Structure 1
Amino acid sequence: MKGVAGLAATATITGTASAADGQTQYIIGANGNGVADAVTDAGFEVRHELADGDVLVAVGPSDAAADIESVKGVKAANPDLKLELDEPEVNTEAADETPPSEGAVLSDLQWDKEITDVFEAHEYATGEGTRVAIVDTGIDLNHPDLGNVNEELGQAFVADDDVPEIGPDDSGSHGTHVAGTVGATGESGVVGTAPDTELIPVRVFPAEGGATFGDILAGIDYAAEIGADAANFSLGIPGVQQPGSELNKLKAEVQTVFQSAVRRGTVITGSAGNDSGSLQGSGFTLPNSVPAAFTVSATSPADTLSFYSNFGTSDIDIAAPGGGYETLEKTLVEDPDAVEWPFPTNLVLSTIPVEQGAYGYKAGTSMAAPQVAGLAALVRELEPNANASRIEQVIQKGAEGANGKSDSEFGAGIINALNTVERLAGGKGKGNGN
């Protein structure tokens, strides 16, 4: 494979979220208990009640936002939007050179784990006793490195689902790649940041078409409901939006749902976006540009900002390996004498559905966020009673390459798993008492 295939999966807004019968889906800000019944009585179908009823997702006639807002207890109603994920072709050529047989035989290709000292961190924590929800395209339920997936807790929140029979299984490949970065067990090919965590597949995408914001929010709310220590959403709108954007009308409800999940103890890791854009000041993306999200920019094998990554001190909380170098030209160099990690090995290697090749390379802030979700699981293992804010602070204090929390590219810095867990473990290695 040549060119940019496999680089920086992007999302596209495809319009208002509509049901198969032509009705429109709305995201509603509400004043809690009883409002859902009132909206139902007004002739709308309430699909989701989120954040203790403070946010509703309902379906009804088009151009009916004003009718919903006339219902007592409704603060705002706006048409939902559909977000279509553009998944580039996965690069599998280097992974194919060493067919997996026994025990993480592809781990030498995981530069992302090497430079963040993940393997050394496993002497202290592996994510045992924790749970991470992957709000995405689902997870391959038959992958040899993903035997830690809890299929029973897996859910699909998909309006007009075209593949309901697969449940939380992967409708693409994005979610399986993200899941492997978080928690691949190393049974066969690759190792995740938290190989002993429990992975929960929360599918919000159909096989064809897009996810609605309402279903993404339902997935986040569900993650908190089942006690997930972290919920990763490597999803977001394209481009850097300005305050006058129609999307600005959804920010309050996104923040309400995310804040509710954080209060219940779930760290929400989100990708900063792949537009090489500044989020400084009034620019924003969704869902990650809300205070409750732990927003992650993407870095290269050289610890530089990846060429596609968004940046900005107002949004970026932390940075993590996402693949590619600081320029596209350098990323695509195939000469091993010219760069330490020639293309495609400078992308992130992880799991993909077995029927697609089992292992492959992708790059993007989508690949950076799950590095942090896995690290959150390591922290929660060592501090089971830590709240979400405490976990974020510990991760930021263990980061490298920035001063404090104000770097426009890296936030508090690039994650370092060993620094982070050593601060908590008191020098005692996992299982050996020393």
Structure 2
Amino acid sequence: MSDINRRTLLRGMGAAGATLAFTGLASASDGSAQYLLRSNGNSIERRLRNTDFALRHELAEGDVAVVTGPADAADELAGVRQVSSVTRDVTVELELPEVDAEPSSTPGEDAALRGLQWDKDLMQVGDAHEVATGEGARIAIVDTGIDLDHPDLGNVNADLGRAFVANDDVPEIGPDDSGYHGTHCAGIAAATGEVGVVGMAPEAELVPIRVFPADGGATFGDILAGIDYAAEIGADAANFSLGIPGVQQPGADINKLRANVQRVFQSAVRRGTVITGSAGNDSGNLQQGGGLTLPNSVPAVITVSATSPADTLSFYSNYGTSDIEVAAPGGWYETIPRTLGETGEPGDIPFPLNGVLSTWPTTLSSSVGLAGYDFISGTSMAAPQVAGLVGLVRSLDPSLNANQVESVIKQNAEGTNGSSGTEFGAGRINALNTVESLR
């Protein structure tokens, strides 16, 4: 998962985080193996009759399917009529790093939480809300779920929420948060400001799509099912702050999944859903040698790098002209020493307040003593900034297709010349510029 634990800096690695780590090949709850396949034609379920395989998800308008069945039987599945390719699905799991640094200062109990949202100030969100607040837009968060009881997330549509989890150890919670990550991303995109913090699109509707159990891993098949469902319900934006750690090389086995990812995402975009994804936290160059990450490095995704309070690339963020569309505040500075206050400039924001403040599950403790709120940094925090901005754009002009929405956001970003900056792509997003361009 593309975020960085609020109190952790792993020196010498260039990035840290609650990342997705491979835990093995994916299996369903009954122990059967899980596969992703491409299908030339509809009715894959009918074609699986009288075989040892069962359909879990049919995605991308019938072009991709998630299927369970015997292990080591890919060849048998490939022999099913009109199946063009078969790939064994993988499971990825959250890895939380150990605490390495303590906060240098914390806000008081009576702090004005909006005043701690430096990220929204950089993007001129307050002024943008004089023009648009996201009313009428729908934003799906494909993640760990969303805290359904949070006072700043009263705009969550729990009825539309879904859980796509192969081995669900908490089925009773449905789309509620099985961790914390989805709640934090949701607040960045669309917190209402009822109590503590304000999101980019505070009057947009949020839809929680949970793809993680409380303990264990998510499968690629379920992540793709979440994106497909977001398109099915007409979400204006679908944010997934998820990604495989490291910069993958073109010949890596994991890249066999790329074609299926691309098909599902392109189908969602055709249906009008803008997909926003985090660039990853490996300080990696996604340009040299054909490096890429999944599921971010496909053309249908607005891939977002992370910036600091000083409008510099955050030290952990991946970069590369070939992949980065835009940048958005993700927290921390361009170096670890500046992040910790060991070096820096007058006016720098101290650690951990130079992270991104957002909503936090009310049942979990906060590292800074603010119940229901916490600071995290990572490209995970950058992506939902853009998802919220999609909500503002669509609230002003619902007729724009997904590609047009992306173009408007890029054209009104700032900080780069042109649209091919290595670190920021078209630039760091600016909410006020964007909404004013549509007046």
Instruction: Tell me the TM-score normalized by structure 2.
Output: 0.92
Summarize the Cα distance change of 1:2–1:231 in structure 2 as closer, same or farther, 3 Å threshold.
Answer: closer
Indicate the residue corresponding to 1:347 in structure 2.
355
Displacement, 1:38? 1.0
Secondary structure of the structure 2 residue equivalent to 1:124: coil
Summarize the Cα distance change of 1:50–1:337 in structure 2 as closer, same or farther, 3 Å threshold.
Answer: closer
Distance between the aligned counterparts of 2:65 and 2:164, measured in 1?
14
Distance between the aligned counterparts of 1:336 and 1:328, measured in 2?
10
Stretch deviating more after TM superposition (338-347 or 372-381): 338-347
Percent identity (aligned): 64
Residue type of the alignment partner of 1:256: R
Distance between the aligned counterparts of 1:206 and 1:224, measured in 2?
22
Aligned ranges for residues 12-411 of structure 1 at < 5 Å? Answer: 12-87=21-96, 97-99=108-110, 105-281=112-288, 282-333=290-341, 340-356=348-364, 357-411=371-425
Distance between the aligned counterparts of 2:340 and 2:426, measured in 1?
29
Indicate the residue corresponding to 1:413 in structure 2.
427
Distance between the aligned counterparts of 1:423 and 1:168, measured in 2?
36
Distance between the aligned counterparts of 1:2 and 1:36, measured in 2?
47
Displacement, 1:97? 2.0
Residue type of the alignment partner of 1:312: G
Contiguous gaps of at least 5 residues in structure 1: 426-434
Partner deviation per Cα, 1:380-421 (whole Å, 9 max, x = no partner)? 011111000000000000100112221110000000000000
Summarize the Cα distance change of 1:395–1:307 in structure 2 as closer, same or farther, 3 Å threshold.
Answer: same
Displacement, 1:21? 3.4
Secondary structure of the structure 2 residue equivalent to 1:200: strand
Displacement, 1:89? 8.0
Is 2:16–2:281's contact at 8 Å kept on the other side of the alignment?
no
Is 1:280–1:313's contact at 8 Å kept on the other side of the alignment?
yes
Instruction: Tell me the TM-score normalized by structure 1.
Output: 0.93
Summarize the Cα distance change of 1:335–1:380 in structure 2 as closer, same or farther, 3 Å threshold.
Answer: same
Partner deviation per Cα, 1:75-101 (whole Å, 9 max, x = no partner)? 11111011112345899996762358x
Is 1:324–1:331's contact at 8 Å kept on the other side of the alignment?
yes
Distance between the aligned counterparts of 1:40 and 1:285, measured in 2?
35
Is 1:334–1:344's contact at 8 Å kept on the other side of the alignment?
no
Is 1:92–1:361's contact at 8 Å kept on the other side of the alignment?
no
Displacement, 1:7? 6.0
Secondary structure of the structure 2 residue equivalent to 1:342: coil
Stretch deviating more after TM superposition (136-145 or 334-343): 334-343
Distance between the aligned counterparts of 1:337 and 1:401, measured in 2?
20
Secondary structure of the structure 2 residue equivalent to 1:190: coil
Is 2:152–2:197's contact at 8 Å kept on the other side of the alignment?
yes
Q: Let me know the Cα RMSD of the aligned residues.
A: 2.0
Distance between the aligned counterparts of 1:264 and 1:78, measured in 2?
25
Displacement, 1:14? 1.1
Displacement, 1:32? 2.6
Is 1:158–1:204's contact at 8 Å kept on the other side of the alignment?
yes
Summarize the Cα distance change of 1:99–1:149 in structure 2 as closer, same or farther, 3 Å threshold.
Answer: farther
Secondary structure of the structure 2 residue equivalent to 1:132: strand
Aligned length: 421
Distance between the aligned counterparts of 1:3 and 1:270, measured in 2?
23
Contiguous gaps of at least 5 residues in structure 2: 1-5, 365-370
Summarize the Cα distance change of 1:421–1:272 in structure 2 as closer, same or farther, 3 Å threshold.
Answer: same
Summarize the Cα distance change of 1:367–1:87 in structure 2 as closer, same or farther, 3 Å threshold.
Answer: farther
Distance between the aligned counterparts of 2:7 and 2:299, measured in 1?
39
Summarize the Cα distance change of 1:174–1:162 in structure 2 as closer, same or farther, 3 Å threshold.
Answer: same
Is 1:8–1:362's contact at 8 Å kept on the other side of the alignment?
no
Displacement, 1:334? 7.4
Is 1:95–1:106's contact at 8 Å kept on the other side of the alignment?
no
Summarize the Cα distance change of 1:295–1:337 in structure 2 as closer, same or farther, 3 Å threshold.
Answer: closer
Secondary structure of the structure 1 residue equivalent to 2:184: helix
Is 1:36–1:56's contact at 8 Å kept on the other side of the alignment?
no
